[in-house]
Chains A and B, each alone.
Chain A
Amino acid sequence: MTAVGETKSGVSIWRCAKCRTGCFPQRLLCARCHGDTFEPDRVHEAVVEEVSVIRHMLGQTDWQPRRIANVRTSEGLRFTVGLTDESGPGAAIELLEQGTAPLGRAKP
């Protein structure tokens, strides 16, 4: 329940080679055109839509609250990130990736 691995700029997405639609998480066929070939791409910015603070975790006794958010990219992709700062709804953030975990923080 903790992101591990190298932290990279941006979040990996997959772009349909046929219709160019981006998707996250990865799919087998494109939901738009059912193309079966994807090219790796990265998104670097998003806007925070909703935020929650996870204050309790089943089975954890020394849990430290952490923030998650639903974010939206400029092309309309929506996904869930871990926020590493106090960014709130409406904030433009930069996206990061640690292992397979999408993260976000205020743009510098």
Chain B
Amino acid sequence: MHTDAAIIGVGQSAYTRRPQGGQSTLTFIRDAVVAALADAAIDARDIDGMAVASFSLAPDAAVDLAWKLGLSLRWLIQDTNGGSSAMNMLGHAVRAVESGAASAILVTGGDATGLGGYAKVAANFNTVTQLHLAPLGHGGPNGVYALVTSRQMKKYGLEKSDYGHIAIAQRAWAAHNPYAVYREPMTMADYLAAPMVADPLSRYDCVPVVAGAQAIVVTHPDRCPRGRAPVRVRAHRASFNYDNQEGDGLETGISTFATELWQAAGVRPGDIDVASIYDDYPTMVLAQANDLGLIEGNDLARFARRDIGEQRFPLNTWGGMLSAGQPGGPAGGLNGISEAVLQLQHRAGSRQVTNARLAVATGYGMTMYRYGGTAAAAVLERVE
């Protein structure tokens, strides 16, 4: 239990499918940082730590960003774990505040690759991708998770429409999020009629890449703006290269620490009021939720059809990346954390989950070869 550090404020930039001239990764991050500082009611001069993750910051590094933001720091990290970077950075930041290494930390991430730039990132993700996947025309992560999805369908008896329940439910949540790039309602007919991208994945199974950035402020709970509940981390765990890419990818690294996570948090999966599960593909939402123990009896089909399809379980209540957009993996993970914070602070507006007190958030990423190799999760709590 981390009692002497909390998330007190969140901020984000606008999201756009196609960045315009003058917009860059740096300008989106600036906008998110300005919004987070204002939301946390904290002066930039009081920030003494920063964590950043981005696929498109280079040739700049974290210290260049600090310089351009005018931040003089005593704690600085740059995380390279893609979709689990945000959750990693949260863990580092909480421990840094509690240890006294820093007192107020900005955790930020963003990307503005554009669609062509993203294609280059996908084809050159690591040396294995360059050597053994890209020459096949594998389609980037779409091709990888198409094969994972087929495995999951076979193993759990899932139908294409089961994934549709996730996309449709999240789209319904996105209608209440002014930042989401796709907010119009989606029906199952719309979902099933969408063009195929990489069988069995069709358009609404594939996360839309956007340009944008997110930021949160982690500091001592007593610095939270008056009248607002700080959000603390009851437990945090992470996993890296959990199986050497020798499994089927249907269990994530979360499976290695889920029991320990819940024990450390002192709560059970059934106690959770709202969940932010990293959703680059619906397949991985189901895999992570199952690893966390959120799916009773490992019955993925019933979870998709009943709990999500009938909107019994508040999952990815900002619309998820599938509807709100994925501003690169790192900031995409921050999106889920930020939404959990808004829900726990009872500031989520028309998408507010009544009396939300406990949330679980995850990160998943780094598609090293056949599936992702990094994962992290945290149980977050509203401090009354």
Given contact pairs A56-B139, A58-B115, A66-B137, A79 touches B132 in the complex (Cβ within 8 A): yes
Q: With A and B bound together, what is the CA distance between A102 and B136 in angstroms?
A: 8
Query: A99 → chain B, closest Cβ, in Å?
Result: 6
Query: A33 → chain B, closest Cβ, in Å?
Result: 13
Q: B161 contacts the other chain (Cβ, under 8 Å)?
A: no
Q: B265 contacts the other chain (Cβ, under 8 Å)?
A: no
Residue of A nearest to B247 (CB): A78
Chain B, residues 184-209, CB within 8 Å of chain A (1/0): the string is 00000000000111111100000000
Q: Which of B116, B122, B135, B139 contacts A2, CB < 8 Å?
A: B135
Interfacial chain B residues near A55, Cβ < 8 Å: 195-199
Q: With A and B bound together, what is the CA distance between A1 and B140 in angstroms?
A: 10
Interface of A, helix, strand, loop or mixed by DSSP: strand
Interfacial chain A residues near B370, Cβ < 8 Å: 70, 78-80
- Interface residue count for B (Cβ, 8 Å)? 37
Q: Which of A4, A57, A100, A102 contacts B139, CB < 8 Å?
A: A57
Q: B29 contacts the other chain (Cβ, under 8 Å)?
A: no
- Interface residue count for A (Cβ, 8 Å)? 33
Q: A50 contacts the other chain (Cβ, under 8 Å)?
A: yes
Residue of B nearest to A98 (CB): B135
Q: Verify B246–A25 contact, CB threshold 8 A.
A: no
Interface centre among B115, B118, B246 (most CB of A within 10 A): B246
Q: Verify A25–B123 contact, CB threshold 8 A.
A: no
Residue of B nearest to A83 (CB): B136
Interfacial chain A residues near B198, Cβ < 8 Å: 52-56
Q: Verify A52–B150 contact, CB threshold 8 A.
A: yes
Stretch of B43-51, B70-78, B93-101, B141-149 contacting A (4+ beta carbons < 8 Å): B141-149
Interfacial chain B residues near A100, Cβ < 8 Å: 131-132, 135
Given contact pairs A78-B246, A100-B132, A102-B132, A57 touches B369 in the complex (Cβ within 8 A): no
Q: Which of A49, A51, A59, A80 contacts B138, CB < 8 Å?
A: A80
Interfacial chain A residues near B137, Cβ < 8 Å: 1-2, 54, 57, 66, 68, 82
Q: B133 contacts the other chain (Cβ, under 8 Å)?
A: yes
Q: Which of A22-78 contact B (CB under 8 A)?
A: 25, 31, 49-60, 66, 68-70, 78
Interfacial chain B residues near A53, Cβ < 8 Å: 196, 198-199
Q: Verify A54–B138 contact, CB threshold 8 A.
A: yes
Residue of B nearest to A102 (CB): B132
Q: A81 contacts the other chain (Cβ, under 8 Å)?
A: yes
Chain A, residues 80-108, CB within 8 Å of chain B (1/0): the string is 11100000000000000011111100000
Given contact pairs A55-B198, A80-B369, A4 touches B140 in the complex (Cβ within 8 A): no
Given contact pairs A52-B147, A52-B198, A55-B197, A80 touches B132 in the complex (Cβ within 8 A): yes
Q: Verify B244–A59 contact, CB threshold 8 A.
A: no
A-B contact pairs, 17 of them (CB 8 A): A2-B135, A25-B132, A52-B198, A52-B201, A53-B198, A55-B195, A56-B139, A56-B195, A58-B118, A58-B119, A58-B140, A59-B115, A59-B116, A70-B151, A82-B137, A99-B135, A101-B132
- Chain A residues at the B interface, C-beta cutoff of 8 Å: 1-4, 25, 31, 49-60, 66, 68-70, 78-82, 98-103
- Chain B residues at the A interface, C-beta cutoff of 8 Å: 115-116, 118-120, 122-123, 128, 131-140, 142-144, 146-147, 150-151, 154, 195-201, 244, 246, 369-370
